[in-house]
A and B are shown apart, each in its own frame.
Chain A
Amino acid sequence: GAVVSQHPSRVICKSGTSVKIECRSLDFQATTMFWYRQFPKQSLMLMATSNEGSKATYEQGVEKDKFLINHASLTLSTLTVTSAHPEDSSFYICSARDRVGGNTKAFFGQGTRLTVV
């Protein structure tokens, strides 16, 4: 089945530095990928929709200059948390939907636990 791979699974960074998270669709092409953030015991909150070859669409309240998204190919989207602060510490998850044959289910990466110290 379709697989989405996310890397790294854990990262600890110092306040003020930037962190890049990669999301790859391994056996299907994803023109659209989605980035979510999840706080403990909370729902997955959609941050942005990443579109291959064009600008990402950000949800209300998500700073586009802080969370830079690049979707340069049909199999790779990256999220860069710039000038990270402790309040950015969270679990970030990417997702892609394989629409071949009308299949609408979503595949998720393993998630990235970001800790900013």
Chain B
Amino acid sequence: SQKIEQNSEALNIQEGKTATLTCNYTNYSPAYLQWYRQDPGRGPVFLLLIRENEKEKRKERLKVTFDTTLKQSLFHITASQPADSATYLCALDYNQAGTALIFGKGTTLSVSS
């Protein structure tokens, strides 16, 4: 059966360190993989998208890698700040008209000062 796993439910790190979140999937072949941020009681907000033929994508302090052989994506936040504390969701995307994103359970990141 199809499955998306994000490595841990919670991750606690100190301010200034790099947070690394993992997303693994089985029995999918997505065209894209996306990462979203969700704050409590709010809808998700788009962060980054990476295509199946891309190895790495960067945006400011964020970096995403995508290994279609391992079926894994890593999401990094460098120089983390308390404001980065939130739940981060990975989502698989078939990029077909009318198809929804499929989400992992998310990892809740807490950055302490």
On whether the two chains bind one another, the answer is yes
Q: Which secondary structure dominates where chain B touches chain A?
A: loop
Interface bin, chain B: 20 to 34
Residues of A within 8 Å of B101, CB to CB, are 34, 95, 106
Please state if B43 and A34 are interface contacts (CB–CB under 8 Å): no
Residue in B42, B102, B106 whose CB lies within 8 Å of A111: B42
Min CB gap B18→A, angstroms: 24
- Provide the B84-113 mask, 1 if CB < 8 A to any CB of A, else 0: 000001010101011111111110000000
B44 interface contact, C-beta 8 A: yes
Nearest chain B residue, comparing its CB with the CB of A51: B98
With A43-B89, A44-B89, A99-B97 known as contacts, the answer to whether A107 contacts B102 (CB < 8 A) is no
Please state if B100 and A34 are interface contacts (CB–CB under 8 Å): yes
With A95-B100, A95-B101 known as contacts, the answer to whether A108 contacts B106 (CB < 8 A) is no
A25 interface contact, C-beta 8 A: no
Please state if A43 and B106 are interface contacts (CB–CB under 8 Å): yes
Complexed CA–CA distance, A7 and B42 (Å): 12
A85 interface contact, C-beta 8 A: no
B46 interface contact, C-beta 8 A: yes
Residues of A within 8 Å of B4, CB to CB, are 43
Interface residues of A (CB under 8 A from B): 4, 6, 31-32, 34, 36, 41-44, 46, 49, 51, 91, 93, 95, 99, 104-111, 113
Q: Which 9 A-B pairs have the closest CB atoms?
A: A108-B43, A43-B105, A105-B46, A34-B100, A44-B103, A32-B98, A111-B43, A43-B103, A93-B43
Q: Can you name 12 A-B pairs with beta carbons within 8 Å?
A: A32-B97, A43-B89, A43-B106, A44-B44, A49-B99, A51-B98, A104-B49, A104-B93, A105-B34, A106-B91, A106-B101, A110-B42
